[in-house]
Structure 1
Amino acid sequence: MGKMMKNLGLYLILIVLVVSLVNMFITPMQPTRDVVPLSYSEFLNQVDKGNVTDVTIDGSTITGVLKDGHHFSTYAVGVGDLAKEIAAKGVNVEVKPPQATPWWSGMVSSLFPTLLLIGAWIFILYHMQGGGSKVMSFAKSKAKMFLDNRPKVTFDDVAGCDEAKEELQEVIEFLRNPRKFAALGARVPRGVLLLGHPGTGKTLLARAVAGEADVPFFSISGSDFVEMFVGVGAARVRDLFEQARKYQPCIIFIDEIDAVGRHRGAGLGGGHDEREQTLNQLLVELDGFDTTTGIIVIAATNRPDILDPALLRPGRFDRQIVVDRPDFKGRVAILKVHIRDKKVDPNVNLEVIAKRTPGFVGADLANLVNEAALLAARRNKKLITMDEFEEAIDRVIAGPERKSRVISPKEKRVIALHESGHALVAKLLPNCDPVHKVSIIPRGHQALGYTMQLPEEDRFLISKKELLNQICVLLGGRVTEELKGDDITTGAQNDLERATQIARKMVTEFGMSERLGPVRLGRKQHEIFLGRDIVEDRNYSEEIAYAIDQEVRRIIDDCYELVKDLLIKHEPILDRIAEVLLEKEVLEGEELDALINEQLQAIPQDSGERLPETQSVAAAQSVDKKSPVQLEPRIDPV
């Protein structure tokens, strides 16, 4: 970008110099000698006095020389017989004949600045777009064409999405042997739409299809079609498919198709003519009169809800493949792919890493392995060990350590108590996700400490009891501050926000309120033009809204009192965890278990402080196989 701006500055300087030179040549040259302007009456007076020696008459302009050698000029309208009259008085008179002015001279003088500006604009476009024939190539497709240099990626390089690879096998078989399907009268899908969260490997999967089929591959982004000039996008779509027809069978991959395929006529200000024309042309190319084409279009998006229905109907993108977040086995396979070209210690257990990264997509795991490699290089190690992977997980989830942040002993004690409250509640309540790590080391942008909980397996449902337990764990930090500190702090801001959000969803979305019953309250409106949900339509009365607020408050208050009673009963354990945290700064899950078990054994049998079986540490660590667990690790930053 810096080089482009430097070249642009040189081009502008050159243009200014050219304009200056041209202006110098077309501007009439001014005489270098001093010329005294005279009025016409003064001129005639000087002639009568005999002070004028030479006179030159050029149309209406009169110039001459006085006896004292000074030059003069004047102007007259309709000189008539002036030449004869002054010649009779002994003045040397020269009359210049009138010159015929070409008809085009006025046009050139008026059009020249405009033509010069147009030329300068073309000159700039020429060099900004790379020169050559790109000056007027707005309508040309910007797709990258891979022929001999087609992607070498195969399905062996793609892991964690076995179902998606199976769905794409038919497409690959058609590209390899289209006659086999034509002989049976079968019609292969014209378009394949890959749906999934960002980073799940949609683009990589499309490249793998091209590599497996060994056919030409055209790659373009949806935003490359739309320009400021109306009609350019549609022309680029036509040009793209015309190029593809020359190399069929082939693959056209359109990444982020939602940039051009949004619902037509939607938005706050109505439709978008250029984008809609581009979409119309794309619809025609996908399913027009030409049904013999061997072009397969693969598109990717993470917003299928905003795509135009005409784009998703059979005959266009008639096969939609979901590329979901990988499960435990998928994460292990993805990690194996990413450590192929890296020197990893044989003792590294990929299954342990996969268990500790629930909810991670392929891009996250690739970043995790790269962070581990960078840490190993920074520590001058020859192999990437498990320590680097553990540290990389913390860096990816919570951010890098902020060793430069100096925290006072008072604040450090508050943070230790806060995180101890989270950890102890998570251990004492049944069916909570196991605590993996507790830390009071500042990380990332705002986290002064965190309690990390990781589920033991991938599940996709969550029960009411588990939601209430999550709220209790989130409130553990604030309750501890109230019990053990001089005052409450702002450290629980994020905890309170998340706890309130869970409680409100329980009431309005999940139908888990006994007072309001199993109903869905509120209806989201999708604003397609903005690409997100910006309005929630209230389909309930003010009375119900008040009841919702009361129910949310009741859930939070009940959980708060439960956590308060729990921590009061186990205050010695809470103090011990905070004391060890202040000393070590980091507690692993195994260390926390051993510490709590040690404290429980120290409680006398008849003291009444022994936990019931449903709230023992062993029960807290056990996971009900029928109960769901959240997909992503939970971190409670202070």
Structure 2
Amino acid sequence: MNNFGRNLALWVIIIVLAVLLFLAFQPGGAQHASQQLAYSDFITDVDQDKVRSVVVQNHDITGTLKDGTSFETYAPADPNLIPRLTAKKIEVVAKPMEADGSPILRAITSWLPLVFLLGIGILFFRQMQSGNGRAMGFGKSRARLLTEKQGRVTFEDVAGIDEAKSELQEIVDFLKDPQKFTRLGGKIPKGALLVGPPGTGKTLLARAIAGEANVPFFTISGSDFVEMFVGVGASRVRDMFEQGKKSAPCIIFIDEIDAVGRHRGAGLGGGNDEREQTLNQMLVEMDGFESNEGVILIAATNRPDVLDPALLRPGRFDRQVVVPNPDVAGRERILRVHMRKVPLASDVDPKVIARGTPGFSGADLANLVNEAALLAARLGKRTVAMLEFDNAKDKVLMGAERRSLVMTDEEKRMTAYHEAGHAICALLTAGSDPIHKATIIPRGRALGMVQILPEGDRIAMSRMQIKAQLVLAMGGRAAEEIIFGADNVGTGASSDIKMATNYARRMITEWGMSEKLGMIAYGDNGQEVFLGHSVTQNKNVSEQTAREIDREIKQLIDAAYHHAHTLLLENIDALHRIAQALLEYETLSGDEVGKVLRGETFERVEVDDSAPENRRASVPTIRPEKGPETGGETDALTPSPQPG
């Protein structure tokens, strides 16, 4: 019987006992239906020959009148009562004096309070042992056994990480046929550490291993071990491995192991005694005197740099399986997995969606499919079309549209020129990625945006590509200064400046792209580093070197700004055309921006012909009026993924 059934039965018993206790102490029982009769009235009825029969029990008299009415009364010590009844030929029945109620009722009455209190105690005891308040099982493991109720996951449900699956296939083969490896003297790895960015499918991959091997799968989080009391975590580790031994062969999965496996002794003020004792117990259980054959430990983390070296040595986590973001082929397979339960229109092509989502993780792609399905449902459609996937991708990459935001004409005009400056620099700078979309519709925290996407998956970036990113970032501010003057530029370039500064600093301090400072990695002053048994401040950059770094950063950004400024002056007509097109249509695709730059016309074919963005478009040639204006905030650039 499950816990719900036991709790329900206990409550039923308690309620029944309470009802019996209430009834037991009710006086009179069924006698309340009889009529209470005064003794004088009873004597009058006897004299008038209205009484049919009576039952005499000590001083209590009950009986029935000739009209069928039952009565009861209490008689004093009257020696003439019985002769008077017999004289009237009334049926008289005499009963001896006995205690009230039956023996069963008396037993229930005497034992009922004790049973009731005992039931209440059992209920409280069970409640204390269940849930998060385990008073009697504080040191028990909180690992949960994953059953078929949660759904069986196999390698068919995991896509885009073929190399990781092939490495873990050996663990599956061992769990299915251990003799295949042991007869040649081989030992299966005791632990496998899944390392990768968030959302790449580490937990799903661990569930797939259990599903493929069809063995018990215990799951627990690293934070479930650590408590405020020292020794509790170590006790839970011992109990977890005891459960694993009883169910061997099995898999124990620890998610976010960095919560308990951090480097011992690191950090200001020493380490955490409870966490370090828990880690010590885990190290002993994984490779101590006692062997845990058949218990395979799998852990996941996105911070392998903070783990203790003893946890990663051979014999414990023998293998580190990297689970990276998928490439274009992997993204296509992941999309097909998530699209199984979504009714798709005929124009949906997962290959096109995969090419347009570089850098997306498995969780990002699942969110993309879900957003597209929700958008189609809001529109009342029965299938999800390619238009919904494009809109969902824009929402994921750039944020939700904020059409309710009220912008003045001057703010829209400055935003349009800001984005037009980005667009021209992206189209005419060597090494820049293609434009996916340009918009002046506020999305997320940005008032406008030019989104660029690389043509394929990018692993590294060249110096020319990084400098193109700097020119692209400076294009918005350069366009504002050209059109509105240096005194009227807005604050919309703040995110562009931050991005450009980050790129320039990394070029000099990390990527060795400065001729003056050379190929040396420079750290930041004040950065905390762990040396031996203490934490010290990083002082490997002198004040003079820091000034040289700042000077080099400024030179790179100034050069990019002058390049963008010159480029826009040489293409001032194209700048006006793109800005005017953005003001008229609000959103332009990459192909439409290219046509406007070349002076060509384009046509939009949409379902809603009444919308202004769906009309036949021709390249506007009207130049804006001259004069100072004030621009609003614009977050104008979505760069391609950063290298490194």
Distance 1:290 1:566, change over 3 A: same
Residue 395 in structure 1 maps to residue 395 in structure 2: yes
Contact 1:147–1:215 under 8 Å retained in 2? no
Residue 453 in structure 1 maps to residue 452 in structure 2: yes
Q: CA separation in 2, counterparts of 1:125 and 1:225? A: 24
Q: Which amino acid aligns with 1:206?
A: A
Q: How does 1:377-392 map to 2 (within 5 A)?
A: 377-392=377-392
Distance 1:338 1:132, change over 3 A: closer
2:363 maps to: 363
Q: CA separation in 1, counterparts of 2:123 and 2:451? A: 59
Q: How does 1:605-620 map to 2 (within 5 A)?
A: none
Tell me the CA shift for residue 509 of structure 1. 1.3
Q: Which amino acid aligns with 1:363?
A: A
Residue 592 in structure 1 maps to residue 597 in structure 2: no
Distance 1:525 1:149, change over 3 A: farther
Distance 1:260 1:397, change over 3 A: same
Q: CA separation in 2, counterparts of 1:256 and 1:538? A: 32
Tell me the CA shift for residue 291 of structure 1. 2.9
Q: Which amino acid aligns with 2:545?
A: I
2:566 maps to: 565
1:14 maps to: none
1:545 maps to: 546
Contact 2:202–2:323 under 8 Å retained in 1? yes
Distance 1:497 1:631, change over 3 A: closer
Residue 490 in structure 1 maps to residue 476 in structure 2: no
Distance 1:128 1:423, change over 3 A: farther
Q: Which amino acid aligns with 1:453?
A: I
The farther-off stretch of 165-174 and 544-553 is 544-553
1:588-636 CA-partner distances (Å, limit 9, x unpaired): 0111111112269x9xxxxxxxxxxxxxxxxxxxxxxxxxx95479xxx
User: SS where residue 335 of structure 2 aligns?
Assistant: helix
User: SS where residue 145 of structure 1 aligns?
Assistant: strand
Q: CA separation in 2, counterparts of 1:344 and 1:524? A: 54
Residue 505 in structure 1 maps to residue 506 in structure 2: yes
1:17-51 CA-partner distances (Å, limit 9, x unpaired): xxxxxxxxxxxxxxxxxxxxxxxxxxxxxxxxxxx
Q: CA separation in 1, counterparts of 2:301 and 2:247? A: 26
User: SS where residue 277 of structure 2 aligns?
Assistant: helix
Q: How does 1:60-459 map to 2 (within 5 A)?
A: 127=127, 130=130, 134-147=134-147, 149=149, 151-291=151-291, 293-444=293-444, 446-459=445-458
Q: Which amino acid aligns with 2:176?
A: R
Q: CA separation in 2, counterparts of 1:183 and 1:526? A: 52
User: SS where residue 490 of structure 1 aligns?
Assistant: coil
Q: CA separation in 1, counterparts of 2:124 and 2:419? A: 60
Contact 2:198–2:302 under 8 Å retained in 1? yes
Contact 1:150–1:217 under 8 Å retained in 2? no
User: SS where residue 489 of structure 1 aligns?
Assistant: coil
Distance 1:343 1:527, change over 3 A: farther
User: SS where residue 268 of structure 1 aligns?
Assistant: coil
Q: CA separation in 1, counterparts of 2:347 and 2:465? A: 35
2:36 maps to: none
Residue 463 in structure 1 maps to residue 462 in structure 2: yes
User: SS where residue 492 of structure 2 aligns?
Assistant: helix
Tell me the CA shift for residue 129 of structure 1. 6.2
1:58-92 CA-partner distances (Å, limit 9, x unpaired): xxxxxxxxxxxxxxxxxxxxxxxxxxxxxxxxxxx
Paired residues in the alignment total: 481
User: SS where residue 347 of structure 1 aligns?
Assistant: coil
Runs of 4+, deviation exceeding 4 Å: 122-129, 147-151, 523-529
Distance 1:377 1:151, change over 3 A: closer
Contact 2:334–2:365 under 8 Å retained in 1? yes
2:478 maps to: 479
* TM-score normalised per structure 1: 0.72
Q: Which amino acid aligns with 2:356?
A: R
The farther-off stretch of 550-559 and 300-309 is 550-559
Give the aligned CA root-mean-square deviation in angstroms. 2.5
Q: CA separation in 1, counterparts of 2:264 and 2:347? A: 55
1:16 maps to: none
Q: CA separation in 1, counterparts of 2:136 and 2:525? A: 45
Tell me the CA shift for residue 144 of structure 1. 0.4
Contact 2:437–2:589 under 8 Å retained in 1? yes
Contact 1:222–1:254 under 8 Å retained in 2? yes
Residue 583 in structure 1 maps to residue 584 in structure 2: yes
Tell me the CA shift for residue 125 of structure 1. 9.6
User: SS where residue 317 of structure 2 aligns?
Assistant: coil
Contact 2:522–2:540 under 8 Å retained in 1? yes
Tell me the CA shift for residue 519 of structure 1. 1.9
1:171-215 CA-partner distances (Å, limit 9, x unpaired): 000000112211111100000000000000000000000000000
Contact 2:129–2:137 under 8 Å retained in 1? no
Distance 1:543 1:632, change over 3 A: closer
Q: CA separation in 1, counterparts of 2:295 and 2:527? A: 33
Tell me the CA shift for residue 459 of structure 1. 2.3
Distance 1:301 1:476, change over 3 A: same
Q: CA separation in 2, counterparts of 1:202 and 1:525? A: 35
Q: CA separation in 2, counterparts of 1:224 and 1:139? A: 11
Contact 1:150–1:211 under 8 Å retained in 2? no
Q: CA separation in 2, counterparts of 1:546 and 1:466? A: 26
1:87 maps to: none
2:65 maps to: none
Contact 2:528–2:537 under 8 Å retained in 1? no
Tell me the CA shift for residue 430 of structure 1. 1.4
Contact 1:373–1:388 under 8 Å retained in 2? yes
Contact 1:522–1:536 under 8 Å retained in 2? no
User: SS where residue 491 of structure 1 aligns?
Assistant: coil
Contact 2:526–2:539 under 8 Å retained in 1? no
User: SS where residue 574 of structure 2 aligns?
Assistant: helix
Distance 1:528 1:385, change over 3 A: farther
Distance 1:526 1:278, change over 3 A: farther
Q: Which amino acid aligns with 1:476?
A: G
Contact 1:283–1:316 under 8 Å retained in 2? yes
Distance 1:483 1:195, change over 3 A: same
Q: CA separation in 2, counterparts of 1:133 and 1:547? A: 59
Q: CA separation in 2, counterparts of 1:384 and 1:550? A: 53
User: SS where residue 291 of structure 1 aligns?
Assistant: coil
1:368-407 CA-partner distances (Å, limit 9, x unpaired): 0000000000001111001100010111111111121111
Report percent identity of matched pairs: 56
Tell me the CA shift for residue 295 of structure 1. 0.5
Q: Which amino acid aligns with 2:464?
A: K
User: SS where residue 587 of structure 1 aligns?
Assistant: strand
Tell me the CA shift for residue 228 of structure 1. 1.3
User: SS where residue 387 of structure 1 aligns?
Assistant: helix
